[in-house]
Structure 1
Amino acid sequence: MALPATIYRVAIDLADLDRGCYARLETTAARHPSETAERLVTRLLAYALCHHEELGFTKGICAGDEPDLWSREADGRVREWIEVGLPDAERLRKASRHAGRVVLVASGSGLRRWLEQHQAKLASVSNLTILALDADFIGRLAASLERAVNWSLTVTEGTLYLTRGTETLEAPLHLIQGER
């Protein structure tokens, strides 16, 4: 018998001064049994960092041909394709041919090596944005992840300020390629 997904109730008070986006985000997110807490935290941050009204979660890990988040046109075409982690560069190139915009929110202990191997190959992809998050920041959030996520996230001048309870964490948001 397969293990069920774990459901998280998420509330994020977003103040993204860099994009002029202010919203109260309330959603649920399913964590597949094979998904790490770090990956889930990165998906939630990607949802906030790229937020707009049409953005939504996909089946994610369960559907290998879908991104982690996306928005679609009325006719079904993919407007925005958002991946998290350190995917294969060819997956991003393929997505860039089928979506108006592709965003990678990269994080993980192998980020530096991934960039060394793939950044030059991806530099010519004009509709690709790569944002990088510090793995230690993600790890600290994942270490105390609860089923009810209640964050206040402020983004200003390329820095994230995330408050949960009485603790505020700070981390840089690195723009590696493209436009935020």
Structure 2
Amino acid sequence: MAAGAVIHTFTVQLADVDRGVYDELALRVARHPSETDAFMMTRVLAYCLEYEEGIAFSEGISATDEPALVVRDLTGRVTAWIEVGAPDAARLHYGSKLADRTTVYTHRDPQKLLAAWAGKTIHRADAITLHSFDPGFVDAAAAAVQRRNTATLSVTEGQVYFDLNGVSLTTEIHQHTLAA
């Protein structure tokens, strides 16, 4: 029998000074057996860093026609398509055509992703932003993950201060554009 998803809970005190977003988030995150802790942690970070009314996790790996995170307005229209990891160019093209805004958060080497997307057809590629973190940041955060998690996440001037279960980490949010 195949193992099911493991549920992780996160209580996050969010203070995003850059965007003026302050809230307490209670997240239930299902980690699929084929998903790494680093990928799941990147999803959680992306959720917090993109937090706004209407944001939601998709059904995960099984949802081939949805991104890791999606933002919908009150009518159900997709306003933001938020990918995590290393999506292929076709997914970005599709998401960019569907949503007002498309963005990617990765725990991988951003230069390798940009090289993989170079020369590919991606709708409004110049409007898509790839976000990455300092090397080792996501792995250190993933190492601190438990089934029940308490975190504070503060963002000021592009710098992230993240405390997860008593482990304090900092990183800069690096932004890369797809179009040269």
**SS across alignment from 2:64:** coil
The 2-side partners of 1:24 and 1:71 are apart by: 18
Cα distance 1:165–1:31, how it changes in 2: closer, same or farther (>3 A)? closer
Cα distance 1:17–1:66, how it changes in 2: closer, same or farther (>3 A)? same
CA deviation string 1:115-138 (max 9, x = no partner): 233267569525422211234100
The match for 2:111 is 112
The match for 2:27 is 27
CA deviation string 1:51-100 (max 9, x = no partner): 01210111011111111111223443211111111111221111100111
Cα distance 1:66–1:124, how it changes in 2: closer, same or farther (>3 A)? closer
Deviation at 1:29, TM superposition (A): 0.6
Deviation at 1:144, TM superposition (A): 2.3
Deviation at 1:164, TM superposition (A): 2.5
The 1-side partners of 2:174 and 2:136 are apart by: 14
- 2:67 matches 1:71: no
The 1-side partners of 2:106 and 2:118 are apart by: 12
Amino acid at match of 1:27: L
Amino acid at match of 1:96: S
The 1-side partners of 2:28 and 2:153 are apart by: 17
- 2:116 matches 1:149: no
Count of matched residue pairs: 177
Q: Flag structure 2 segments of 5+ consecutive residues without an equivalent.
A: none
CA deviation string 1:9-67 (max 9, x = no partner): 11111111111111111120100111000000000000000001210111011111111
1:24-173 matched pairs, under 5 angstroms? 24-108=24-108, 110-118=109-117, 124-173=124-173
The 1-side partners of 2:166 and 2:63 are apart by: 37
CA deviation string 1:142-162 (max 9, x = no partner): 112101121101111111110
Q: Flag structure 1 segments of 5+ consecutive residues without an equivalent.
A: none
Contact kept? 2:78, 2:99, Cα under 8 Å: yes
State which drifts further: 22-31 or 124-133.
Answer: 124-133
Amino acid at match of 1:5: A
Deviation at 1:101, TM superposition (A): 1.1
Amino acid at match of 2:21: C
Amino acid at match of 2:177: Q
Report % sequence identity.
38
The CA RMSD measured in Å over matched residues stands at 2.0
Amino acid at match of 2:158: G
